[in-house]
A and B are shown apart, each in its own frame.
Chain A
């Protein structure tokens, strides 16, 4: 489709005899905020690394902004900005030097890069930290600096690999606001995350990946409704059990048959995730 900024078809990536990504198909629309969920080792980061051209792949095609990452890697790279799970700034340089370095990699001329660094630093409130060494900043500020680096060349699509992992709740919420702000300005954002509430609160659509394949793909609410919009949580045989119902009346009727602690709540993506994969989000695949 013309509106798809990323099109992945039949992606296969093997590491020796282990298949990390197994025939993955995915299209991401322009301007969309897309969440990629999956247990550890499900293939999220590997898929992202293939798209970002950091890892080669064995089969399939990946188009970014209409450019094949294998045939036109430079054009594809120009369309994207990537923020890796681990903050990947050069710790021997200052924040400003890291930004200049990134701008130079994208061949942005001096005047334009100075303007862009000033504009983005202002947007991310990084001004006072620009001439400080990387390690003098906290994790949240480093993430912001990494986002600025990834955005200097005005990428059409921004990849955020576990952007809030390791951050405290305040830093996480601040970063969510930034992600919303960027999305509101029209940037396509793809984020992988372990935090279900992050995906629910931010994403237009969510793809759930397990064993290297997309097993569910839709808007968060639609995915929840498919499982059943109301969840009943109760204890039975020494374990917490879950049942899902399409409305609250059915859920109430079922809950009344159970003894002990029973809770009724809206289904969330965690429920969808566990139902589909049989694992919790942080589990190893």
Chain B
């Protein structure tokens, strides 16, 4: 176990240096899109109270936090790894070193995890001022970490599968964009008809939205433990896919 953690850190070290060198850029990028979503959807389109008895701003902030965990974690791990694999070829260098596949997968997730956490916590810190109904608790921290980790692992899988930068853009449009707007980030999934609900519950962002919203508004929503379990299962599946892709060298 300690070897796994040490190797994970060794794999992540270069990406952490990248994070350090580009911190200001990353900081601006991390807060820009959640802020725009908050202004456009939270204040621009709707006001007033929701069905669960909280303001729409309080309802939408956890949704945007879930969305930020997806977009920041996914794009950070997928883009950098894709560039390292296809253009710099530095990923090959790492593959020729005596590292376990698990530590490679986990290490390559760290940048996405950091970026996602930064984005989510900046937004959530702002949300705590804007919406007094929101709470800060260990559970919401755990939910955000699980969410960022899941989408970071998904980013690694996509980076391993993409044969070019164009494929990355296509996968982004097919996987990320639909999830962004449909998975209960800006509205409650329960307001849709059962067929759409069933489809949306097959997507990880729906469960991320549910758990982050449940943990953020404990006085208004029962925490959806099943969604937490489902999201962890998604994370485990993405991890297994990543390891499989590396092991079978189907990359």
Q: Which of A86-102 contact B (CB under 8 A)?
A: 86-93, 97-98, 100-102
Q: Are A78 and B14 in contact (CB under 8 A)?
A: no
B198 at the interface (CB under 8 A from A): no
Neighbouring B residues of A149 by C-beta, 8 Å: 93
Total count of chain A residues near the partner, CB < 8 A: 31
Neighbouring B residues of A75 by C-beta, 8 Å: 98
Q: Are A106 and B84 in contact (CB under 8 A)?
A: no
A107 at the interface (CB under 8 A from B): yes
Which of the four size classes fits the interface of chain B?
20 to 34
Nearest-neighbor residue (CB-CB) of B80 within chain A: A92
- Encode contact with A along B17-51: 1 for CB under 8 Å, 0 otherwise: 11001100000000000000000000000000000
B94 at the interface (CB under 8 A from A): yes
Query: A92 vs B14: C-alpha distance in the bound complex, in angstroms?
Result: 9
A52 at the interface (CB under 8 A from B): yes
Q: Are B10 and A86 in contact (CB under 8 A)?
A: no
A77 at the interface (CB under 8 A from B): yes
Query: A198 vs B18: C-alpha distance in the bound complex, in angstroms?
Result: 38
Query: A149 vs B18: C-alpha distance in the bound complex, in angstroms?
Result: 18
Q: Are A88 and B93 in contact (CB under 8 A)?
A: yes
A105 at the interface (CB under 8 A from B): yes
Neighbouring B residues of A92 by C-beta, 8 Å: 18, 21-22, 80
Query: A84 vs B96: C-alpha distance in the bound complex, in angstroms?
Result: 11
Q: Are B89 and A84 in contact (CB under 8 A)?
A: yes
Neighbouring A residues of B93 by C-beta, 8 Å: 82, 84, 88, 102, 105, 149
Nearest-neighbor residue (CB-CB) of A108 within chain B: B10
Find B96's partner among A82, A86, A90, A101 (CB 8 Å cutoff). Answer: A82
Q: Are B14 and A90 in contact (CB under 8 A)?
A: yes
Q: Are A88 and B10 in contact (CB under 8 A)?
A: no
Q: Are A74 and B98 in contact (CB under 8 A)?
A: yes
A53 at the interface (CB under 8 A from B): yes
Neighbouring A residues of B10 by C-beta, 8 Å: 101, 104-105, 107
Query: A107 vs B103: C-alpha distance in the bound complex, in angstroms?
Result: 13
Neighbouring B residues of A55 by C-beta, 8 Å: 249
Known A56-B248, A101-B13; judge A106-B18 contact (CB<8 A).
no
Q: Are A88 and B248 in contact (CB under 8 A)?
A: no
B176 at the interface (CB under 8 A from A): no
- In the assembled complex, how far is the CB of residue A211 from the closest CB belonging to chain B, in whole angstroms? 23
Find A54's partner among B6, B7, B96, B98 (CB 8 Å cutoff). Answer: B96
B90 at the interface (CB under 8 A from A): yes
Q: Are A105 and B88 in contact (CB under 8 A)?
A: no
Q: B9, B92, B97, B99: which has the most chain A beta carbons within 10 Å?
A: B97
- Encode contact with A along B92-129: 1 for CB under 8 Å, 0 otherwise: 11111111100000000000000000000000000000
B11 at the interface (CB under 8 A from A): yes
Q: Are A90 and B88 in contact (CB under 8 A)?
A: yes
Nearest-neighbor residue (CB-CB) of A101 within chain B: B14
Neighbouring B residues of A203 by C-beta, 8 Å: none
A80 at the interface (CB under 8 A from B): yes
Find B97's partner among A77, A88, A97 (CB 8 Å cutoff). Answer: A77
- In the assembled complex, how far is the CB of residue A185 from the closest CB belonging to chain B, in whole angstroms? 22
Neighbouring A residues of B99 by C-beta, 8 Å: 74, 105
Q: Are A90 and B95 in contact (CB under 8 A)?
A: no
Neighbouring B residues of A88 by C-beta, 8 Å: 88-90, 92-93
Neighbouring A residues of B80 by C-beta, 8 Å: 92
Pull 25 A–B residue pairs with CB atoms less than 8 Å apart, ordered by A.
A54-B95, A54-B249, A73-B98, A74-B98, A75-B98, A77-B96, A86-B89, A87-B89, A88-B90, A89-B90, A92-B21, A93-B14, A93-B18, A97-B14, A97-B17, A101-B10, A101-B17, A102-B97, A105-B11, A105-B94, A105-B97, A106-B98, A107-B7, A107-B10, A149-B93
Q: List the interface of chain B (C-beta within 8 A of A).
A: 6-7, 9-11, 13-14, 17-18, 21-22, 80, 84, 88-90, 92-100, 248-249
Question: Which are the 8 A-B pairs with shortest beta-carbon distances?
Answer: A88-B89, A105-B97, A74-B98, A104-B10, A90-B90, A101-B14, A77-B98, A56-B249
